[in-house]
Structure 1
């Protein structure tokens, strides 16, 4: 996979975030509340968007995978489609109306919990963190500017927003909060937000105020999603969205859409299941390494916990970690599995009506629970196989995983993961060939070529 960022001049992480929407100045330090101009913005990806602004979702996701992500200048708009804030079937006109509605709904939701817990509106500071004190100051200055901007709106726009606000108030009127649970969530959020990576340029200078924007987003999410609430690690995940989208409103809705699918990963049973799948995959790919790591002293692959929970955020350089998150989120494996299943179905039909071959051999099922992030994880483990085989307990494993932070090469890892996935599909689909179906070899090789063409293997 080619790194799309190589197609233009290199950018820092903060510059990537600022240019991601294609409408902001070169350096953006304080997140916008919303980004209405993006609703009419166009993607330059070939064949992805039609003249009215509708997006071909399948092409978008496949483009992300085959091209190793998108360029930083396209990322903000792409993520709004990729994570579901903008429906791919929506036109540019429909999105402009949706943007207003989402902004008003978010504002009503945030105001509701703030009125319920007024003592939690401001983060309580102990005075020892000078940067955090500055962050609160920058954030309060930003809030005052927003109030002034609201007063400067045209009468027509104020009337339209007032109507949308009335609708939102009716929508959330009956929603109630559990005071104890929400206070506990806010307590943890106030511990985690200051731990967010402040070395990113997005949180430098006046950008420190974005830490408080992140806090408001997380509290609003926890308040209106009590079944999920807040768990440690969500701050780092949400920070990615805020940096790329550079908008409080758009980050809330995109993060919420993402969590609809992946909130289970923040529950013990969900992550335990993912770790079990990683162990199963490694057992398929390297039984010896699996047997070594599956001993009691190794705690059964729990050292992969952070990798899988945060999408390898610390193992790659920041720019590459964003790109990998984008690739992992495009659901290419699901698309590929659908094409594989169609081809397998056509093969079964061909055998059913063939007068030459009446054999009853069946294709081995492909485990579609093996998501691509598991193949990324396996590629890292196999690349470091010798070091892992020398580890004798969980302490050595933790030391090993810590040593990898920021050192991995994304393009190399992607190629290895793609090859492992391709070989896994190849073995599952065609193990029966040598025994039962030699006469079908030419057809099978043709199908194998189609499967391989879904990847960019070099």
Structure 2
């Protein structure tokens, strides 16, 4: 940014959103990686199962993506666009996790066909830097969100919570709560 004032306030806004990622206990970042794993299990169970069978389901190879919200993955102009999208919190607050899912979904065949383990996946993910098509990734991530939203009533409650979808009990579920722990999900 050419204007120092704009640069300062953009940085202040960025740190407001991401400061928890830099806490010493890394609790917040680990939580996001587990949310990413859970989303991947719903969106792409084949890849999720592959990662689990190759001791890679901790999603540590996505650490940098989540930590600095893709700063190293895109050009300056692309990262400014991406952050502007992310800062809207639309379609959901954790849209960055759906972006991760979209990128991994696109890389699934390459990872599985090459029988990558954690080290190779990490190298491959790092090598994607500046080679990810932002526009296509945003389109894919938004499509994933809308597919999940359309089947919201079939999603586990914690997935709805990750995506910021309101979890409501139906009247029937509230009436039968004592007999059954099942809840109905709705926007």
TM > 0.5 between the two? Answer: yes
CA 1:428–1:311 in 2, change beyond 3 Å: closer, same or farther?
Answer: same
Q: Distance in 1 between matches of 2:107 and 2:54?
A: 21
Secondary structure of 1:333 counterpart: coil
Which residue of structure 2 lines up, in the alignment, with residue 271 of structure 1? Answer: 29
Shift of 1:256: 3.7
Of 98, 103, 124, which residue of structure 2 is paired with 1:400?
A: 124
* TM-score, L = length of structure 1: 0.31
Structure 2 residue 148 is matched with structure 1 residue 424: yes
SS in structure 1 of the partner of residue 74 of structure 2: coil
Gap change, CA 1:391 and 1:319, over 3 Å in 2:
farther
Cα distance in 1 for partners of 2:14, 2:120 equals 34
Q: Deviations over 1:320-378 (max 9, x none)?
A: 111101111111134xxxxxxxxxxxxxxxxxxxxxxxxxxxxxxxxxxx711111110
CA contact (8 A) 1:265 1:271 kept: yes
1:332 corresponds to which of 90, 103, 117 = 90
Deviation at 1:262, TM superposition (A): 2.7
Query: Within 1, Cα distance between the matches of 2:67 and 2:12?
Result: 16
- CA distance in 1 between counterparts of 2:100 and 2:117 reads 19
Counterparts of 2:75 and 2:10, CA distance in 1: 23
Is residue 40–residue 101 contact of structure 2 (8 Å, CA) maintained in 1? yes
Q: Is the 8 A contact 1:275 1:301 kept in 2?
A: yes
Q: Which residue in 2 is equivalent to 1:292?
A: 50
What 5-or-longer segments of structure 1 have no aligned partner?
1-16, 22-31, 35-244, 335-369, 432-450, 452-458
Specify whether residues 254 and 294 from structure 1 end up closer, same or farther in structure 2 by C-alpha distance, changes over 3 A only.
Answer: same
2:74 aligned partner: 316
In structure 2, relative to structure 1, the CA distance for the partners of 1:299 and 1:416 (3 Å cut) is closer
1:381 equivalent to 2:104? Answer yes
Aligned CA RMSD, in angstroms, stands at: 2.3
Runs of 4+ in 1 over 6 A off after TM superposition: none
Change (3 A) 1:392 1:254: closer
- Aligned ranges 1:24-39 → 2 under 5 Å: 32=4, 34=5
> Retained in 2: the 8 A contact 1:297–1:392?
no
The residue correspondences of 1:167-206 to structure 2 (distance < 5 A) are none
After TM superposition, the structure 1 = structure 2 runs for residues 5-404 of structure 1, keeping only pairs within 5 Å, are: 17-18=1-2, 32=4, 34=5, 245-246=6-7, 251=8, 253-267=9-23, 268-295=26-53, 297-298=55-56, 300-334=58-92, 371-389=94-112, 390-404=114-128
> C-alpha separation between the residues in 2 aligned to 1:408 and 1:397?
16
CA distance in 2, matches of 1:291, 1:316: 28
1:189 aligned partner: none
Aligned to 1:410: 134
In structure 2, stretches of 5+ residues that fail to align are 156-186
Residue 408 of structure 1: SS of its match in structure 2? coil
State the match for 1:179 in structure 2.
none
Distance 1:261 1:402, change over 3 A: closer
| Structure 2: distance between partners of 1:430 and 1:284 | 11
How many aligned positions are there? 153
